[in-house]
Amino acid sequence: MARKYRLVHDPILTRWLMANFPFGTYQINVRLGAVKKEFLQAVPAKYSKVGELVKHIADAVVIWDGKVRIIECVVRPADWDKMFQLEIYEDAFRKTEKFKKYWDWPIEKIFLTTETDPYMESQAAKRGIKVVKYRPKEIEAYLGSLRKRQQTPKGGALE
């Protein structure tokens, strides 16, 4: 199931990025965070890249127009609670050495989703997360193949 999801998720995210930002301003599947020195020292030299595997992975990072945008994309509306990862990514971004020159830039957290509801949006607003609904017609067949509980955001009936 995860592979099928990635086949839908990545093109949706990429299409949205291409439609909204200049080419070259965004990166996809960005590893964020700083690995403890003790961890890296305990790893044999030939496995030095293993430190990258323990980092957080943001769906996308856009550096453009004096602002950093960290984006989490969810195609299945029931998975909207993944938006909370954006808070972790914001913190990890400011510790990622390759982005050091952007640490002082303002960060906008964007949650890209195929469906929204008032409860989801209220939770996002509390955390300073911008919710963007993006639902191209090409996604309809995939969404129609999901169980009903995966097609709608969790908590939609909550205050």
pLDDT surpassing 60 at residue 157: no
Q: What is the mean pLDDT of the chain?
A: 83
pLDDT surpassing 70 at residue 154: no
CA distances from 55 to 49, 50, 95, 112, 125 (A): 11, 10, 11, 22, 26
| DSSP one-letter string for 51-100 | HHHTSEEEEEEEEETTEEEEEEEESSGGGGGGGGHHHHHHHHHTT-GGGG
13 lies in some domain: yes
Q: Count structural domains, the chain.
A: 1
Nearest to 134 by CA among 20, 26, 27, 30: 20
The fraction of the chain above a pLDDT of 70, given in percent, is 71
Q: Which domain holds residue 124?
A: 2-151
Q: What's the CATH number where 136 sits? A: 3.40.1350.10
Which one is predicted more confidently, 54 or 66? 66
158 lies in some domain: no
119 lies in some domain: yes
pLDDT surpassing 80 at residue 49: no
157 lies in some domain: no
pTM summary value:
0.83
pLDDT surpassing 70 at residue 155: no
Tokens representing 67 are 């602002």
Residue 78: per-residue pLDDT: 76
156 lies in some domain: no
Distance CA 45, CA 34 (A): 18
Residue 137: per-residue pLDDT: 78
| pLDDT tens digits, one per residue of 68-103 | 999 999 987 778 889 999 999 999 999 999 999 999
88 lies in some domain: yes
**Phi, psi for residue 134 in degrees, rounded to 5:** -140, 115
| pLDDT tens digits, one per residue of 137-146 | 777 666 556 6
